[in-house]
A and B are shown apart, each in its own frame.
Chain A
Amino acid sequence: MQELLSGFTDILNFQTLLVMCLAITGGIVVGTLPGLSSVMAISLMLPIAYGFGPVVGLSMLGAIYTAALYGGANSAILLNTPGTPSSLPTAFDGFPLTKQGKADRALYGALFASVIGGLFGTIVLIVAFEPLANLSLKFGPPEFFGLSCLGLCAVAAISEGQILRGLLSACIGLMLSMIGQDPVSGDVRFTFGIYPLISGVEIIPALLGLFSLSQAMNILEMKGSHIAPYKAEPGVIKLVARKISAAWSTLLRSSIIGSIVGILPGAGGAIASIISYNEARRTAKDPSQFGKGAIEGVIASESANNAQVSSSLVPMMGLGIPGNVNAAVIMGALMSFGIQPGMGLLSNSSDIAYAFMASLIVANILLLGIGIYMVKLTARVLLIPKAYLGPSVIALCIVGAYAASYDIYGVWVMFGMGVLGFSMLKLKIPIGPMALGLVLGPIAEKGLGQSLQMAESETSLIHFVMSRPISLGLFALCIFTLFGAIYVERKTRQAKAFGKGINND
């Protein structure tokens, strides 16, 4: 506690706070712009962070990471274009709210949930980073395969009324993610002699195409002059605050899920937000509202998303193993300052470690203040006529895809995925599961490949999986999620038929 207080003393000065405020503003902008990721923002700021020194530099990087992941929610809500893969489920209810003229509610809901989730995740990081880092070591390849399967089952389950199509969409994503190098053996496959395909389907251009380009094309086809009506709601902050306090159990559950999933190396925010969203829907009083503009959906997704920001730093700080690419870049920054991450971090550089943790708390508080003003600005996007917005988003997508891949091949990937996504939208096949399949594919393939190699010494793969209680539990959850979704769908259909019967009478 004493060390944490001294950490606060180190960062609560004019220079650090100013740098953090600028980093948060920039982080929100980067997160909001399709194609620009938090990794890109953090890596671009590395040389500047080095110039500031360890305390200010790390505080700046932590602030960018926190703000950029939150910023992804803005484009997900306003344009149905998740700025980051972890904001995918935010679009499921955020965009329908925008279409209903309630964009402000979704934006403030995402902001408040992100801040609360972020604070929760940081507290988890401070309190339990040593014991939790040890727990994450128990996750081996079968557990990661199980976790990926759970993520995919959850995303198919939320494709309400279209479980089959949702599963098919997820499998198409998995198939596309197989193109290129095998994550275990390194063999090149499924390139069909096309040389650029060796590097595989790049995630950022693919997501840009699936969500931004297809949506921009859809915007241009829509009737009317604007995407959705927008009028600032008076007293919306109070209203959202009441909704947030009413949904405290969703908020707490999602923050816990986000923190736990964030700790697991390689799991990522996309799994955290999708599992939380599915749990919120499963436990909701009226699950039929999810996907149609339930603010609880936005709250669940965003609180889990930002809770995993801090907890994803647990394996990096506790064990020296970066849990995701963002953590890897921050680890690079630590090492450039001559600090060795891992168990020795607390004994050798505890002052910097605690200052960094304190800065994550301050970053979340600053995000609340800056975010409230930024929401008012970002919501103005809806005032732009769609005739201007559609072509501008297409131009932004093309430049963003090029910037993300540094190659025109990335732009063609984005174009191909955009046309595929647009066609799927027209055919009423959900594109969210496909995006998740693309993101989770390499994790699932690596998990299964390594499990099969490990199982070679065992009698069978099933015996091997059965001998691991965590993976067994995860597979049981997969079955429960899938059959639970089928059961809910049947019940909903029966209820609708019953309701129709009553109306006819």
Chain B
Amino acid sequence: MTKSQLVIRFSVIDLFLVLVAGVALVFWQEANGLIKPFDAYPKLVCASIFALSFACLIHQRLIRPDSKVRKSKTKIQIRTWSMIAGIAVYIVCISTIGYFVSTFVYLVAMLQIGRFGIDKEFLETKTLLWDSLVAGAVSVVIAIVFKLSLNLVFPSAWLF
């Protein structure tokens, strides 16, 4: 074994696997409190997850650096985090403010954010008014399909 192979490198996937194994351990602990034989299935699943996470960790170490899996280094960008946070805020708003206002504002904001980092594409030529028209149209179409045509319930909130 060469010196370079001995270097221990930690990646996001390692962290994910350790996290999954940890959750499986917590579930195993909870399964200990179940009556027999209903504890068998949860314990079987937890043990499998634990073993598979460990096997994946070892597999990570054994595979060659030029392999496809090895190349799966993740670049978590600020844009991704803001996108996730934006969705969470939209969910909170839809249940407090109401469907139409929150959907309209969310879509306009996302269309505006979507312009960043896109060079020389058609979106650059579109205005805020155009984005607002698209957002309004999408909100109305979703409402027509779900609420009016299929009579499904929308979140109740202080605005319509």
Could you list which residues of chain A lie within 8 angstroms of chain B, going by C-beta atoms? 30, 33, 36, 40, 44, 161-162, 164-165, 167-168, 171-172, 174-175, 178, 182, 184-185, 187, 189-190, 192, 213, 217, 220-221, 225, 385, 387-388, 390-392, 394-396, 398-400, 402-403, 406, 408, 411-412, 415, 418-419, 422-423, 426-429, 444-445, 448-449, 452-453, 456
Find residues 122-160 in chain B having any chain A CB closer than 8 Å to their own CB: 122-123, 134, 138-139, 142, 145-146, 150-155
The 8 Å CB contact of B114, one of A189, A220, A427, is: A220
Nearest chain B residue, comparing its CB with the CB of A179 = B27
Nearest chain B residue, comparing its CB with the CB of A447 = B41
Specify which chain B residues have a CB less than 8 angstroms from the CB of A400 in the assembled complex. Answer: 146
Please tell me if the beta carbons of B52 and A415 are within 8 angstroms of each other in the complex: no
Alpha-carbon distance A221/B139, docked complex (angstroms): 23
Specify which chain A residues have a CB less than 8 angstroms from the CB of B30 in the assembled complex. Answer: 189-190, 192
Is B72 positioned at the interface, with any CB of A under 8 Å from its CB?
Answer: yes
Residue of A165, A225, A392 with highest tally of chain B CB at under 10 A: A392
Please tell me if the beta carbons of A164 and B107 are within 8 angstroms of each other in the complex: no
Specify which chain B residues have a CB less than 8 angstroms from the CB of A161 in the assembled complex. Answer: 68-69
* A399 vs chain B, min Cβ distance (A): 6
State whether A428 and B72 are in contact (beta carbons under 8 Å apart), knowing that A178-B45, A190-B27 are contacts in the complex: yes
State whether A187 and B107 are in contact (beta carbons under 8 Å apart), knowing that A168-B52, A225-B123 are contacts in the complex: no
The 8 Å CB contact of A175, one of B49, B138, B151, B152, is: B49
Alpha-carbon distance A8/B139, docked complex (angstroms): 43
14 further A-B contacts with Cβ under 8 Å, apart from A178-B42, A221-B79, A426-B72, are: A44-B151, A164-B55, A171-B49, A182-B38, A189-B34, A391-B107, A391-B111, A391-B114, A395-B106, A395-B142, A399-B142, A422-B84, A426-B76, A429-B13
Give 15 A-B contacts (CB < 8 Å), ordered by A residue: A40-B150, A162-B69, A167-B52, A168-B17, A172-B20, A221-B79, A387-B111, A395-B106, A403-B146, A426-B12, A426-B74, A448-B41, A448-B44, A449-B37, A456-B37
Please tell me if the beta carbons of A403 and B90 are within 8 angstroms of each other in the complex: no
Specify which chain B residues have a CB less than 8 angstroms from the CB of A217 in the assembled complex. Answer: 80, 83-84
State whether A402 and B153 are in contact (beta carbons under 8 Å apart), knowing that A172-B20, A187-B34 are contacts in the complex: yes
Specify which chain A residues have a CB less than 8 angstroms from the CB of B153 in the assembled complex. Answer: 402-403, 406
Alpha-carbon distance A162/B74, docked complex (angstroms): 18
Residue of A221, A395, A411, A452 with highest tally of chain B CB at under 10 A: A395
Please tell me if the beta carbons of A445 and B41 are within 8 angstroms of each other in the complex: yes
Nearest chain B residue, comparing its CB with the CB of A451 = B37
Alpha-carbon distance A505/B27, docked complex (angstroms): 53
The 8 Å CB contact of B37, one of A162, A192, A452, is: A452
A-B contact count (CB 8 A): 164
Please tell me if the beta carbons of B154 and A168 are within 8 angstroms of each other in the complex: no
Nearest chain B residue, comparing its CB with the CB of A419 = B84
Please tell me if the beta carbons of B142 and A396 are within 8 angstroms of each other in the complex: yes
State whether A175 and B52 are in contact (beta carbons under 8 Å apart), knowing that A187-B35, A399-B142, A427-B12 are contacts in the complex: no
Is B5 positioned at the interface, with any CB of A under 8 Å from its CB?
Answer: no
Specify which chain A residues have a CB less than 8 angstroms from the CB of B20 in the assembled complex. Answer: 168, 172
The 8 Å CB contact of B42, one of A189, A418, A453, is: A189
Specify which chain B residues have a CB less than 8 angstroms from the CB of A385 in the assembled complex. Answer: 121-123
Please tell me if the beta carbons of A412 and B41 are within 8 angstroms of each other in the complex: no
Please tell me if the beta carbons of A187 and B38 are within 8 angstroms of each other in the complex: yes
Specify which chain B residues have a CB less than 8 angstroms from the CB of A448 in the assembled complex. Answer: 40-41, 44
Residue of A168, A184, A391, A411 with highest tally of chain B CB at under 10 A: A391
Alpha-carbon distance A399/B145, docked complex (angstroms): 11
Name the 6 nearest CB pairs between A and B, nearest first: A391-B110, A452-B37, A387-B114, A428-B72, A403-B152, A168-B52
Alpha-carbon distance A411/B95, docked complex (angstroms): 10
The 8 Å CB contact of B90, one of A168, A187, A398, is: A398
Alpha-carbon distance A33/B134, docked complex (angstroms): 19
Is B118 positioned at the interface, with any CB of A under 8 Å from its CB?
Answer: yes
Alpha-carbon distance A178/B45, docked complex (angstroms): 9
Is B97 positioned at the interface, with any CB of A under 8 Å from its CB?
Answer: no
**How would residues 44 to 78 of chain B score, 1 for a CB under 8 Å from any chain A CB and 0 otherwise?**
11101100110110010000000011001010110
* B120 vs chain A, min Cβ distance (A): 10
Alpha-carbon distance A412/B95, docked complex (angstroms): 11
Please tell me if the beta carbons of A172 and B49 are within 8 angstroms of each other in the complex: yes
Find residues 5-42 in chain B having any chain A CB closer than 8 Å to their own CB: 12-13, 16-17, 20, 23-24, 27, 30-31, 33-35, 37-38, 40-42
* A214 vs chain B, min Cβ distance (A): 11
Nearest chain A residue, comparing its CB with the CB of B56 = A164
